[in-house]
Amino acid sequence: LTLMLLWCPALTSLTIGNGNKIGVSGATAIAQYCQRLTSLTIGAGNKIGSDGAKAIAERCQDLTSLTIGHGNKIGGVGATAIAEHCRCLTSLTIGADNSIDSDGAAAIAEHCEWLNYFSVESWTFDRSGQGATRHEEYMSITALKSHSNVRISIGGLTLMLLWCPALTSLTIGNGNKIGVSGATAIAQYCQRLTSLTIGAGNKIGSDGAKAIAERCQDLTSLTIGHGNKIGGVGATAIAEHCRCLTSLTIGADNSIDSDGAAAIAEHCEWLNYFSVESWTFDRSGQGATRHEEYMSITALKSHSNVRISIGGLTLMLLW
């Protein structure tokens, strides 16, 4: 690598293919010998780490396009260095499994204001050739949706939320495992939300549900997919704080227990769409609230093999 860089001193564009494992030493060589670069791609699995990313950022400050493939583990330190030193960037791609964390996300959000192409994990915005910068475009975005099963990092999620302060609708796809930290970021940066979907298997837990409920009190529609384990504590917090809800979906394996069920039954009186496990009632657009409709029901039948929780069963019986 060093030999090629020494022999090509006029390089302005360099691509290192996937899986070459150039490591920190390779990234340092690029930083030392290629300071005229305007375009650099480090493919997936090159393992340059935070030190490698930092070396490149500090010496290759004329970069307008930078791609860091997945699995390079640049971390928050590397992402911060890129944001602080590469002020000419108009195109930035950071693949998954780079662990840019909240600090790296905050640095990119603060310093990379001229990007017109940006991709981090499943989030991609392309305004290249349109004359509009990231700042101008993102400020007006009100709805955002992620793909499923891309394992969004807390850094990637935080970055998108910081860049889209006008969000009123957010969907996190299934299986992204955003966890409590991701749910807390949503609660911190998205307090204007009216619609929120947390897909199945994101494992936000009771603490994550509680954080969202306490800060996102303008929600009118909330979906918690199966397997998020919000428990009775999370369900109770949603019922007590989200008083504007007209649509509520809680998937299976959330363990809302009897206490959570009782809280929903007591406080969520304006629902006209409700689904918990196999129980679904849809009166949306018909003008009737849950309370008016359910009070007259005399017969109820569940589906088979849905493993009804004590919380779900209790809620239907109370209603």
Q: Which amino acid is at 133?
A: T
pLDDT per position as a tens digit, 31-58: 999 999 999 999 999 999 999 999 999 9
Cβ atoms 239, 266 nearer than 8 A:
yes
Q: What pLDDT is attached to residue 54?
A: 98
Q: What pLDDT is attached to residue 155?
A: 85
Q: What pLDDT is attached to residue 81?
A: 98
293 phi and psi, to 5 degrees? -75, -45
Query: How many CB atoms neighbour CB 200 within 10 A?
Result: 19
Cβ atoms 53, 72 nearer than 8 A:
yes
54 secondary structure, DSSP code: H
Alpha helices in the chain (DSSP H): 2-7, 23-33, 49-59, 75-85, 101-111, 134-138, 154-163, 179-189, 205-215, 231-241, 257-267, 290-294, 310-318
Q: What pLDDT is attached to residue 32?
A: 96
Short-list 91, 79, 81, 77, CA closest to 40: 91
**CB neighbour list of residue 77: distance below 8 Å, 6 or more residues apart:** 50, 53, 54, 104
221 secondary structure, DSSP code: E
Q: What pLDDT is attached to residue 136?
A: 65
Angle at 157 between CA 62 and CA 76, to 5 degrees: 50
142 secondary structure, DSSP code: -
Q: What pLDDT is attached to residue 25?
A: 97
Q: What pLDDT is attached to residue 247?
A: 94
Low-confidence ranges of the chain (pLDDT < 70): 122, 129-136, 278, 285-292
67 secondary structure, DSSP code: E
Q: What pLDDT is attached to residue 69?
A: 96
Cβ atoms 75, 102 nearer than 8 A:
no
Q: What pLDDT is attached to residue 298?
A: 87
Cβ atoms 250, 275 nearer than 8 A:
yes
Q: Which amino acid is at 270?
A: W
Q: What is the pTM of this model?
A: 0.82
What the block records as the tokens of 10 is: 């006029």
Q: Which amino acid is at 7?
A: W
114 phi and psi, to 5 degrees? -100, 10
Percent of the chain's residues with pLDDT above 70: 93
CA torsion angle 156 158 164 168 (round to 10): 110
